[in-house]
Structure 1
Amino acid sequence: MSGKVQLGDFLQTRRSQLRPEDLGVPTYGERRRVPGLRREELALLAGVSVSYYTRLEQGQSLNASPQVLDALARALRLEEAERLHLHNLARSARAAGRGRRPAPERVTAATGQLLDALGDVPAIVTGRRGDVLAWNRLGHALFAGHLDPDSADRPAERPNMARLVFLDAHTRELYAHWRGKARAVVGNLRLVAGQYPDDAALHELVGELSAKNADFASMWADHRVKACAVATYEMRHPLVGPLTVTQQTLSQGTGQNIVVATAEAGSPARTALALLARAVTEGAPVRSGAPPRPRRADLT
């Protein structure tokens, strides 16, 4: 999908999600054929002409200044992550290029060292599209113990967190409140799509998930964006039972992230993680087949 289309769709969708009464826009009791603000109402709130805003939403104007984009963000009541996403979309629309398939991602040496240091904490390394590039033994056991632990080493077979959340029954059951996790995954993919508009593999992933899962298609069409830095999830692990963990995403500044799961000291969840760690260390069957071994993709 081109940057121009993404920019127009984002503006139109977010405009339709605002109610005039929430912004103090008078409607004089009239019935509206479509929900949300009209173009002329949003243009007035943002301080731009209706014709200019219409061209921008239709992808016919690519020269919006940062000041105009910020004015639109304020009128649309965007949060900071959404405001930055709007700027990324406008930038990609101006610099539209041909879709290309980037080189395979590999774990950097520094990220590999950090993963080793987190041996007692469930941790996985993900690429910008959510591909699992590496995981420690506890990370594999917590997030995907039913999968081959060696799969992260094989680029063509690497698990993808978005595919797991939407297409894998085990992962869907793993999250007690699956929809919240799913929305976070989609919101993050939206941010990545704005940052890397020419990533052909990302477009293929979105197309696949949209075709195979109606929930994903609906959430993607909503155009919500979300930076998933810290989130708390209630999990239902098949080996150690229910536990509540805080998942933190540590950005490595290269498009790669380390996702770690922690639990409050003295909590039942901390005890559950300790039991899982003991099971992994002692070789308990956290999945069918051989117990997981520590694996990491090639370092660069």
Structure 2
Amino acid sequence: MLRKLRDDRRVSRERLGFAAGVSASYITHLESGAREHPTKQVIEALITFLDRVEPLAEAERRHLFDLAGLHDDTFPSVEELRDGISDDMRDSLVVHEPNPAAYVDTRWNVLVCNDSYAAAYPGLVEDVSILRWFFGNELSKRVMVEWEREASLTVDWLRGLIGQSGDTTWAGDLLEELGEYREFREMWTAGGTTYGRAEPRMLLRDSDSGSEYALDVRLYRVDYGRHPGHVQFFLGIRN
């Protein structure tokens, strides 16, 4: 990532190292992976100089911090997160009918959802992972009107998520599984990174009638006492 940003700006290792207060050999070690966890001060110095040459995108800036390991490494399992979903949280899903609503973790595994969510995304509850559903379940192409756009967004999101995660065993296993699909490999090779939707509109097709409709997608981080910061509330408001 650092080499790409440096090459895009035609900045040498020597120039970048001097500006950031480190040696050119240290930059080489960072780019080769020999220095996995630089300090926050070093990352800030690198970003400051690169940003001065040509502004970094917010996703690029955040991705550098994530890759440096400046994050919380722990992540509970799907089962642990599901066990912590209270009855009140489950009841809130029913209140939002007929709008699709669900609790998902920040790795986009479905924890619990209402009937409208299960109907809008057939097979997703069984697949658990939205990434597995996109590339391994043909039903996703049947109901996602802009399948390629939405699938590419999830792949870009996965790249950013892997940077956040200190324990990448889960990511290696998932990448090995998804790598069996040509479309995933092509989208992964494109190299994009994102941390959210640029706009909320999502187009779907009713699996029974075939009619198209739009959802205004909202995503809220849940103040979840047992595992704070790992659960999100998904709400799709039908238009």
Specify the alignment match of 2:186 in structure 1. Answer: 218
* One-letter amino acid of the structure 2 residue matched with residue 251 of structure 1: R
Which whole-Å CA distance do the structure 2 matches of 1:132 and 1:166 have between them? Answer: 16
Task: Give unpaired runs (5+ residues) of structure 1.
Answer: 1-9, 26-36, 264-269, 271-300
Specify the alignment match of 1:249 in structure 2. Answer: 219
**Segment of structure 1 superposing worse, 161-170 or 222-231:** 222-231
TM-score normalised by length of structure 1? 0.62
CA offsets 1:97-140 (integer angstroms, 9 cap, x no match): 9xx99462315215424323323321122223322221111111
Residue aligned with 1:203, SS: helix
Specify the alignment match of 1:85 in structure 2. Answer: 63
After superposition, the Cα gap between the structure-2 partners of 1:177 and 1:256, relative to the gap in structure 1 and judged at 3 Å, is same
Runs (4 or more) in structure 1 with deviation over 6 Å come to: none
Specify the alignment match of 1:108 in structure 2. Answer: 85
Q: Percent identity?
A: 24
* One-letter amino acid of the structure 1 residue matched with residue 141 of structure 2: R
Specify the alignment match of 1:31 in structure 2. Answer: none
Task: Give unpaired runs (5+ residues) of structure 2.
Answer: 223-227
Contact persistence 2:120–2:143 (CA under 8 A): no
Greater RCO (CA < 8 Å, at least 6 residues apart): 1
Contact persistence 2:78–2:109 (CA under 8 A): no
The 5 Å alignment of 1:42-53 reads: 43=17, 48-53=22-27
After superposition, the Cα gap between the structure-2 partners of 1:83 and 1:120, relative to the gap in structure 1 and judged at 3 Å, is same
After superposition, the Cα gap between the structure-2 partners of 1:122 and 1:240, relative to the gap in structure 1 and judged at 3 Å, is farther
How far residue 185 of structure 1 moved from its aligned partner, in angstroms, is 0.7
CA offsets 1:143-184 (integer angstroms, 9 cap, x no match): 22xx3xxx84xxxx5432111112222212322322221122
The one of 18, 31, 37 equivalent to 1:57 is: 31
Specify the alignment match of 2:101 in structure 1. Answer: 123
Which whole-Å CA distance do the structure 1 matches of 2:89 and 2:160 have between them? Answer: 22
Contact persistence 1:124–1:136 (CA under 8 A): yes
How far residue 188 of structure 1 moved from its aligned partner, in angstroms, is 2.0
The one of 117, 130, 135 equivalent to 1:161 is: 130
TM-score normalised by length of structure 2? 0.76
Pairwise CA RMSD of aligned residues?
Answer: 3.3
Which whole-Å CA distance do the structure 1 matches of 2:107 and 2:157 have between them? Answer: 9
The 5 Å alignment of 1:250-265 reads: 250-252=220-222, 253-263=228-238
- Number of residue pairs matched? 225
Residue aligned with 2:233, SS: strand
Specify the alignment match of 1:11 in structure 2. Answer: 2
Specify the alignment match of 2:225 in structure 1. Answer: none
CA offsets 1:160-213 (integer angstroms, 9 cap, x no match): 211111222221232232222112211222232223231533331121001x11
Q: Whose radius of gyration is greater, 1 or 2?
A: 1
Residue aligned with 2:171, SS: helix
After superposition, the Cα gap between the structure-2 partners of 1:201 and 1:175, relative to the gap in structure 1 and judged at 3 Å, is same
